[in-house]
């Protein structure tokens, strides 16, 4: 299992983990402390990394370049929106993940992944084997037996890490937990991030897969009535897209290394990128009352310094 910073794992994460294990009732909330007072808080979100030794299903050059570049950002945390590996039954894929991200472990950067469809690849009916591999090889320590959880990034950001392959409709356990987390967010929470694999809003060329649109329906009715600002980050589509719907920012960030797929960029897509292949990650920076996001793009065909660009940015301000 990946190593964690002693100050985080023992000083913050371990007590939360033990509390969750003791009650057995609710998924844990992990905490990433803010830095020095007034200092920016930087973290990274992206998905569809597909760690594997099978080069035909992923671009290993791009994947490794992104890992190294992310490490150079010195983020407080890394959140990954699913499809961390290519085959959930293959423990070697998780070993590849651990080997290629050793630089993150060495820097004691906590990593918080969500489940994607490839975490269940090879487990069409019995998912225990795939979940065991994920809990042991990727999930934050102490998450078992839960499949969704939350992360506090400093005092003002709450990230809800959902499982797209579990029900999200009304009456489901995950939906009830999701609503409780939002309604119970304290007055200090200015931003709520919803991270899941299947993006609730994306190019209509790609149909819904499970219940992900339930997230958009809930936020369409409730986001304007709530104090925190919402940003929803999905993956699954191996490209980048950005939308603004009902006061909520929706982003597709699936450029972590998986084989690229096209984005049509119709129906209100805001980035208007002209590049078809977009390996990338999202750098978020919280400073004062503003959460800024930058798409950091890598051109795997360019071996010069210009391989790295920042073709899209957006900001979300706290308050009404």
Identify the pLDDT of residue 208. 80
Q: What is the pLDDT of residue 35?
A: 82
Question: CA dist 150 to 64, 307, 320, Å?
Answer: 27, 34, 24
Q: Is the peptide bond before 59 cis (omega within 30 degrees of 0)?
A: no
pLDDT at 28 over 50: yes
Q: Quick check: helix, strand or coil at residue 97?
A: helix
Distance of CA 307 to the CA centre of its chain: 24
- What average pLDDT score do residues 262-288 get? 93
Beta strands in the chain (DSSP E): 29-32, 41-46, 78-80, 111-113, 149-153, 157-161, 191-195, 229-234, 240-245, 248-253, 279-287, 290-298, 308-317
Average pLDDT over residues 233-242: 96
pLDDT value of residue 96: 98
Instruction: State the Cα–Cα distance between residues 169 and 216, nearest whole angstrom.
Output: 12
Asked if residue 137 has pLDDT above 70, the reply is yes
The model's confidence at residue 18, banded by pLDDT at 50, 70 and 90, is: very low
Domains of the chain are 6-317 (3.60.21.10)
Q: Strand 229-234 vs strand 111-113: parallel, antiparallel, or unpaired?
A: unpaired
Q: pLDDT averaged over the chain?
A: 90
> What's the average model confidence in pLDDT over 249-273?
93
| Tens-place pLDDT, residues 173-211 | 999 999 999 999 999 999 999 999 999 999 877 778 889
For residue 292, give the nearest of 310, 269, 268, 267 by alpha carbon.
310
Q: State in Å, rounded, how far the first CA of the chain is from the last one.
A: 42
Rounded CA separation 2/255 (Å) = 23
Helix (H, G, I), strand (E, B) or coil at 268: coil
Find out whether 166 and 172 touch, Cβ atoms under 8 Å: yes
What is the model's pLDDT at position 197?
97
Tokens (6 digits) for 302: 């360019």
Residue with tokens 């309604």: 183
What predicted TM-score, i.e. pTM, was given to this entire model? 0.92
> pLDDT band at residue 320, thresholds of 50, 70 and 90?
low
Assess whether pLDDT exceeds 70 at residue 23: no
Rounding to the nearest 10 degrees, give the CA dihedral for residues 208, 213, 216, 217: 140
Give the rounded percent of residues in the chain with a pLDDT score beyond 90: 81
**Phi, psi (rounded to 5 degrees) for 270:** -95, -20
* Residue 140 token pair: 């934050």
pLDDT at 11 over 80: no
Residues 78-130: tens digit of each pLDDT? 999 999 999 999 999 999 999 999 999 999 999 999 999 999 999 977 799 99
| pLDDT on residue 273 | 95
Can you tell me the mean pLDDT for 284-289?
Answer: 95
Q: What is the mean pLDDT of residues 131-155?
A: 97
What are the residues facing 234 on neighbouring strands? 252
Range with lowest mean pLDDT among 30-39, 67-76, 146-155: 30-39
Cα–Cα distance measured from residue 237 to residue 270, given in angstroms and rounded to the nearest whole number: 16
Q: Count CB neighbours of 171 within 10 A.
A: 7
pLDDT of residue 289: 94
Q: SS3 for 306?
A: helix
- pLDDT category at 148 given cuts 50, 70, 90 is very high
Alpha-carbon distances of 201 from 68, 97, 134, 193, 256, rounded to whole Å: 30, 28, 26, 15, 19
Do residues 121 and 89 touch, judged by C-beta distance below 8 A?
yes
**Token digits of residue 11:** 């000083």
Length of the chain counted residue by residue = 320
* Mean pLDDT to the nearest integer, 11-32: 59
User: What's the confidence (pLDDT) of residue 36?
Assistant: 79
Kindly report which listed range (18-27, 94-103, 132-141) carries the lowest average pLDDT score. Answer: 18-27
Question: Is the distance from CB of 83 to CB of 236 less than 8 angstroms?
Answer: yes
Please tell me the least confidently modeled range out of 42-46, 162-166, 264-268, 285-289.
264-268
* pLDDT at residue number 14: 36
What is the pLDDT, as a whole number, of residue 16? 38
């Amino acid at each position: 299992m990946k190593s964690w910073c002693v100050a985080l794992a023992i000083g913050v994460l371990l007590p939360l983990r033990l509390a969750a294990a003791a009650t057995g009732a609710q998924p844990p909330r992990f905490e990433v402390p803010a830095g020095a007072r007034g200092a920016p808080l930087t973290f990274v979100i992206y998905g569809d990394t597909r760690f594997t030794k099978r080069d035909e299903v992923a671009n290993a050059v791009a994947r490794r370049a992104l890992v190294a570049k992310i490490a150079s950002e010195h983020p407080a945390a890394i959140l990954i929106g699913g499809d961390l590996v290519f085959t959930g039954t293959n423990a070697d894929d998780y070993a590849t993940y651990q080997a290629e991200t050793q630089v993150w472990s060495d820097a004691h950067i906590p990593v918080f992944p969500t489940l994607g469809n490839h975490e269940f690849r090879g487990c069409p009916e019995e998912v225990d084997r795939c979940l065991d591999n994920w809990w042991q090889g990727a999930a934050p320590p102490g998450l078992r037996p839960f499949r969704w959880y939350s992360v506090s990034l400093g005092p003002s950001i709450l990230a809800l890490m959902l499982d797209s392959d579990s029900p999200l409709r009304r009456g489901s356990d995950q939906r009830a937990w999701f609503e409780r987390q939002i309604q119970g967010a304290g007055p200090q929470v200015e931003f709520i991030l919803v991270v899941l694999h299947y993006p609730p809003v994306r190019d209509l060329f790609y149909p819904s897969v499970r219940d992900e649109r339930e997230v958009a329906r809930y936020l369409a009715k409730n986001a304007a009535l709530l104090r925190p600002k919402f940003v929803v980050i999905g993956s699954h589509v191996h490209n980048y897209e950005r939308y603004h719907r009902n006061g909520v920012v929706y982003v597709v960030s699936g450029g972590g290394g998986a084989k690229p797929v096209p984005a049509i960029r119709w129906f209100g897509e805001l980035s208007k990128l002209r590049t078809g292949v977009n390996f990338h990650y999202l750098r978020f920076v919280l400073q004062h009352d503003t959460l800024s996001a930058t798409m950091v793009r890598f051109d795997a065909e360019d071996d010069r310094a210009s391989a790295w660009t920042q073709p899209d940015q957006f900001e979300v301000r706290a308050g009404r």
